[in-house]
Amino acid sequence: MAARHETDPEHLWHYSEDPAIERFVPHVPATNPDQPPMVWTIDGEHAPLFWFPRDCPRITFWADDGSPPDQLGATRATRVHAIEQGWLDRVRTCELWAYRFAADGFDPWPGADGYWVSGHERTALDVAPAGDLLERHDERGIELRVMPDLRELRDQVIESGYRFSMCRMANIRADISPAPDEGSGTG
């Protein structure tokens, strides 16, 4: 499936635990070394994908038509995010900062839903605390699942046909079995 992006967003976002980034310099992501250097942002529709501590492994999924993705467990929410139990306290206490950018000069990245990129150095319009991350999920109506292990859900989501994102999967519980390569996709 082709990646989807918010149509003509006014603003784009970058989330960080560092509140003092003065300029964003294009870089090559460690997880995708074949990419040219870029500044990475996310549109408002997909911003909740980053309402976590940076290194927190997470799986997020949603249905194409906006209905609840209830094939993977009963839910009324239109989006489901899942983390491992060992990360819950860090999500509760994380001081995350939201950097806001003008959308001008960014292009949609075709590799995943909601990502926008620029090959040029950028400066944020402003930065503000993201607030309580659990409250942010609740305000947006996103179900947050806290699980002992993400591996089984990962396999189910990949096969489900739902749109999804998987971040920092190399950080899932190491005491169970080796972690796969990190991946993200559009289902």
pLDDT band at 77 (very low <50, low <70, confident <90, very high): very high
Tokens found for residue 107: 């292009």
Task: For residue 93, tell me if it sits in a domain.
Answer: yes
Task: For residue 186, tell me if it sits in a domain.
Answer: no
Q: What is the mean pLDDT of residues 158-180?
A: 79
Task: For residue 32, tell me if it sits in a domain.
Answer: no
Percent of the chain with pLDDT over 70: 92
Number of domains in the chain: 1
Task: For residue 182, tell me if it sits in a domain.
Answer: no
Residue 139 scores a pLDDT above 90: yes
Residue 90 scores a pLDDT above 70: yes
Q: Beta strands 142-147 and 79-84: pairing type?
A: parallel
Contact predicate 129/15, CB 8 Å = no
Task: For residue 48, tell me if it sits in a domain.
Answer: yes
Q: What is the mean pLDDT of residues 152-159?
A: 95
Residue 183 scores a pLDDT above 60: no
**Residue that the structure tokens 């995708």 belong to:** 32
- Domain range for 99 is 11-18+38-171
Q: Specify the 3-state DSSP secondary structure of 96.
A: coil
Task: For residue 4, tell me if it sits in a domain.
Answer: no
> Nearest to residue 56, comparing CAs of 99, 25, 87?
87
> Nearest to residue 3, comparing CAs of 82, 115, 84?
115
Phi and psi angles of residue 79, each rounded to the nearest 5 degrees, phi first: -135, 145
**What is the Cα–Cα distance from 62 to 1, expressed in whole angstroms?**
14
**What is the Cα–Cα distance from 11 to 26, expressed in whole angstroms?**
19
Task: For residue 33, tell me if it sits in a domain.
Answer: no
Q: Is 23 exposed, middle or buried (0-12, 13-18, 19+ CB in 10 A)?
A: exposed
Residue 182 scores a pLDDT above 80: no
Tokens found for residue 112: 């995943």
Q: Which of 30-44, 85-99, 135-149 is least confident?
A: 30-44
| Residue 47: CB atoms within 10 Å | 21
Tokens found for residue 43: 């549109």
Residue 92 scores a pLDDT above 50: yes
For the chain, what is the mean pLDDT?
A: 91
Task: For residue 3, tell me if it sits in a domain.
Answer: no
> In terms of pLDDT, which residue wins out, 63 or 175?
63
**What is the Cα–Cα distance from 41 to 39, expressed in whole angstroms?**
7
Q: What is the dihedral of CA 41, 140, 9, 122, to 10 degrees?
A: -30
pLDDT band at 174 (very low <50, low <70, confident <90, very high): low
